[in-house]
Chain A
Amino acid sequence: KQEVTQIPAALSVPEGENLVLNCSFTDSAIYNLQWFRQDPGKGLTSLLLIQSSQREQTSGRLNASLDKSSGRSTLYIAASQPGDSATYLCAPIRGQKLVFGQGTRLTINP
């Protein structure tokens, strides 16, 4: 059974900092991994999808890496802004099923 852990559970940093969110998973037999953000009371917004054959994926100030062999993924956010405040969730994908961690609640202070 796939288990996903995200560290830290919460993070509060001043605006402008670069930061790293960590995700680990127990079953490396995954196809892809997707990162999402969720604003309070809202649905999930897809940030990045990393194919299992890739090691990195970039979108703007976001960069995600995937190491299937060690069961880890990291999300790097450059030059953080108050609008980045949200909960960030990683989800390894097998078939069409995503398994979610509990997320990292990120607060960027102006």
Chain B
Amino acid sequence: KAGVTQTPRYLIKTRGQQVTLSCSPISGHRSVSWYQQTPGQGLQFLFEYFSETQRNKGNFPGRFSGRQFSNSRSEMNVSTLELGDSALYLCASSLEASGAAVEQYFGPGTRLTVT
């Protein structure tokens, strides 16, 4: 079974631009979460989607947004990029079990550099 895939793997953008990152979960997984990893702040939760609905949201500005499609694939978008948005963006998927937190599987990440 294929793992979580993320595209692109590397991205270089300029301040003020916007960017879209993509995540394909493991087949059959319906929950997709996004995390930002930086050397200073570590791993921080961005948001989680299930059945095309955002269920949880972390403490990030509105420039960070996401969506999920009917096939469970997810995208996240960052508008008006700032230097501080440079980070490794990780996507995780899990097999939702009603009422229970289940094991999450991470993709390889997208390395975003903002210049």
Determine the main DSSP class of B at the interface with A: strand
Judging by beta carbons under 8 Å apart, are B42 and A95 in contact?
no
B residues at A contact (CB < 8 Å): 4, 31, 33, 35, 42-45, 48, 50, 55-56, 58, 88, 90, 92, 94, 96, 100-109, 111
Most A CB contacts (10 A, CB to CB) among B31, B88, B102, B104 go to: B104
26 interchain pairs (CB within 8 A)?
A30-B101, A31-B100, A32-B102, A34-B104, A41-B111, A42-B109, A43-B107, A43-B108, A44-B90, A45-B106, A46-B104, A93-B101, A96-B31, A96-B48, A96-B50, A96-B55, A97-B45, A97-B58, A98-B33, A98-B35, A98-B104, A99-B45, A100-B35, A100-B43, A100-B44, A101-B42
CB distance from B21 to the nearest CB of A (A): 13
Q: A32-B101, A46-B103 are in contact. Are A96 and B43 (CB under 8 A)?
A: no
Q: Is A94 an interface residue (CB 8 A)?
A: yes
CB distance from A6 to the nearest CB of B (A): 10
Contacts of A41 in B (CB 8 A): 88, 111
Cβ proximity bits A63-105 to B, threshold 8 Å, 1 near / 0 not? 0000000000000000000000000010101111111111100
Taken together as a complex, chains A and B put the C-alpha atoms of A99 and B41 apart, in Å, by 12
Say which residue of B94, B106, B109 sits within 8 Å of A96 (CB atoms). B94
Taken together as a complex, chains A and B put the C-alpha atoms of A91 and B106 apart, in Å, by 13
Q: A95-B55, A95-B101 are in contact. Are A46 and B42 (CB under 8 A)?
A: no
> Whose C-beta in chain A lies nearest to the C-beta of B4?
A43
Contacts of B111 in A (CB 8 A): 41
> Whose C-beta in chain A lies nearest to the C-beta of B50?
A96
> Whose C-beta in chain B lies nearest to the C-beta of A99?
B45
Excluding A43-B106, A98-B35, 8 further A-B contacts by CB distance (< 8 Å) are A31-B100, A32-B101, A42-B108, A43-B107, A45-B106, A99-B45, A100-B43, A100-B44
